[in-house]
Amino acid sequence: MGLTPKQEKFCHAYMETGNASEAYRQSYSCGRMKEATINVKASELLKHGKVAVRLNEIKNELKETSDIKKERVLFELEAIMEAKISDYIEIKGGSVTLKDFSKLTEAQLRAVESVKETKYGIELKLHGKSWTTDRIVKMLGYEAPRKLNVDGAPLGILFLEPRDDE
């Protein structure tokens, strides 16, 4: 037995939005429901066996059909990590000027989120390094759990085994 049409719609809406509550609202009649009820029902639906399996199927289908590979994502993230504000501006005599953007590398241009003119001058915004660092760490598995060695150690003392990459 497969999913109901509403469950299937929920799966696709969830993959599109990344938000279970929003996917639930798009798939079910929620006009009289409280926000807390929607959140609970959406969470329960995510845990439903057949729905969870279908979400994995959709995710795998998207992976297979996507032209964007992990290496490409890491390349883009690396551009953000390598960017320095001094690549884009010069400070001379207390005034700030933008460097000639035509002389920037492709990687430097990728790190720029936006450039706009405001009443105070040009606003240059680079992509966030904090989020980028977190993303790279997760993609490369640097946050993987480590084994604790407690054999033969006195009570209360734990020794971390070194990782292969250290």
The Cα–Cα gap between 9 and 24 comes to: 9
Quick one: pLDDT band at residue 148, thresholds 50, 70, 90? low
Q: What is the mean pLDDT of residues 133-153?
A: 69
The Cα–Cα gap between 47 and 42 comes to: 9
Instruction: Indicate whether 44 pLDDT > 90.
Output: yes
Residue 54, amino acid: R
Structurally, at CATH architecture level, domain 5-65 sits in Orthogonal Bundle (1.10)
Whole-number CA gyration radius for the chain: 24
Q: Where are the domains of the chain?
A: 5-65, 67-166
**What pLDDT sits at residue 141?**
74
List pLDDT tens digits, range 28-39. Answer: 998 899 999 999
List pLDDT tens digits, range 52-106. Answer: 999 989 888 877 766 667 788 888 889 999 999 999 999 988 888 889 999 999 9
Q: How many CB atoms lie within 10 A of CB 111?
A: 23
